[in-house]
Amino acid sequence: MNNIKAKKKYGQNFLKDDNILLKIIEAMPNNNNHIVEIGPGLGDLTQKMLKYKDMTAYEIDSDLLTILKSKFASEIQSKKLELIHTDVLDIWKQNNTLYDGKYDLIANLPYYIATNIILRAIEDPNCDNIIVMIQKEVAVKFAASEGEKEFSSLGVIVKLTSKEARILFDVPPTSFEPAPKVMSSILYIKKDSTQVLENQFKSFLKAAFTQPRKKLSKNLSTNIDKESLSEIYKELNIDENIRPHELSPSLYRQMYNKVILNDKRTEQPE
C-alpha cells in the first residue's frame, strides 16, 4: 500500500480486489473514446486501463500524486497518461468538460461527491459513457424506474438523458482497503447526447420529490397554483393521488412543458 493511509476528507477507499478490477475492464465500451478517471488513488485500475487506451486522470491528493507520477513516469512521458492535480468540479466550472474530445468516465468515485460528479458527467457534452463505482444505495437511485420506491429525480434525469442505465454488479466492502461500511455497485450509464435538460426543469423535479411519500400534487402546489395544476392533471390524464415515484419521466417532461406554457401566458400583458 506504499505506506499511504486513506484520507477521510477525500473519501478514500482503495480498491484492492483484482477480480473486481478485471470485471471493470471487461465492462469498458468497445470504442475509440479517450478515458477519464477521477481519483485514481494508487493507480491499480489506471494501470489496467492504460493497456487499452490513452487516459486523463484527475487526482486531488498531492501525496497520491507523487506516487502516481513515479509509478507512471514512462506513460506520462510518452503522453499515454495525462495526470492532473486538481478538483474536477473546478475544471467543469471552467471548461464545462473534462476532456476536449469524446471520452468515457471510468472511475472508483469518492462517495461524498459521487452524485455531483455523475450529474456533471451527464451534462458534459463530451462524455459518452459513465462506468463508476459508487455506494449501492445511490447507484440504485440512478438506475431506478418509475413505480419503484427508490425512483427519484436522479432516476428521471438519467431516463431522459440516457439510452441505458443499469447496475453491472455489486462490490463488497472486503474488496477495499480500508473497508467501507456499505456495499458498493458499478453503475453503467450510456448517454444520449441528443438530450439536454435545462436547469429550470431540474428545479421542477427537485420540487416534485421534496417529500417523496406525499402526493405529487402537494409537493408541486408550493410552486404552482392548484387550479393550474388540476388542469394539467386532467389534460395529461394523471391520477390526482399519484406519488412522485409513480409518474413516468416522459409525463414529468410533459407536465413541466405545460407549466412553462402557462407561465408564459400569465406573463403576457392584457
- Average the pLDDT over 248-259 and give the result: 95
pLDDT digits (tens, 9 = 90+) for 214-239: 999 999 998 888 899 999 999 999 99
* Average pLDDT score over residue span 237-246: 96
Distance CA 138, CA 154 (A): 9
Q: Average the pLDDT over each of 12-21, 83-92, 120-129, 244-253 and give the range with the smallest value.
A: 12-21
pLDDT at residue 10, as a whole number? 42
Give the chain's mean pLDDT.
90
Query: What per-residue confidence (pLDDT) applies to 265?
Result: 52
Residue whose C-alpha is closest to residue 59's, from 34, 44, 42, 74: 42
Per-residue pLDDT at 270 exceeds 80:
no
Return the ∠ at Cα 232 (arms to 226 and 237), rounded to 5°: 125
Task: In whole angstroms, give the CA distance from residue 270 to residue 267.
Answer: 9
Among the listed residues 264, 113, 105, 111, the one whose alpha carbon sits nearest the alpha carbon of residue 200? 264
Per-residue pLDDT reduced to its tens digit, 189-209: 999 989 999 999 999 999 999
Quote the CA–CA distance of 222 and 226 in Å, as a whole number: 9
Cα dihedral 18→22→25→27 (10° resolution) = -130
- Long-range CB pairs of 15-22 (<8 Å, 24+ gap) are 15/41, 15/44, 15/45, 15/108, 15/133, 15/171, 15/175, 15/176, 16/44, 16/175, 16/176, 16/177, 17/171, 17/174, 17/175, 17/176, 20/171, 20/175, 21/45, 21/48, 22/48
Between 141 and 260, the higher pLDDT residue: 141
Q: Please tell me the least confidently modeled range out of 30-44, 114-128, 171-185, 223-237.
A: 171-185
Percent of the chain having pLDDT more than 70?
92
Q: Which CATH number fits domain 199-265: 3.40.50.720, 3.40.640.10, 2.40.160.40, 1.10.8.100?
A: 1.10.8.100
Phi, psi of 35 (to 5 degrees): -110, 135
Q: Which of 88-102, 131-145, 225-239, 252-266 has the lowest mean pLDDT?
A: 252-266
Asked whether the predicted pLDDT for residue 8 surpasses 50, the reply is no
Instruction: Specify burial of residue 93 (Cβ count, 10 A radius: 0-12, 13-18, 19+).
Output: exposed
| Among candidate residues 97, 47, 105, the one with its CA nearest the CA of residue 76 | 47
pLDDT tops 80 at residue 144 = yes
Concatenate the DSSP letters of all residues of 177-238 into one string. Answer: ESPPSS-EEEEEEEE-TT----HHHHHHHHHHTSSTTS-HHHHHTTTS-HHHHHHHHHHTT-
CATH 1.10.8.100 domain span(s) along the chain: 199-265
DSSP-derived letter for residue 126 is T
Domain 8-191: CATH superfamily is Vaccinia Virus protein VP39 (3.40.50.150)
Structure-block grid coordinates of residue 16: 484492492
| Residue ranges of the chain assigned to CATH 3.40.50.150 | 8-191
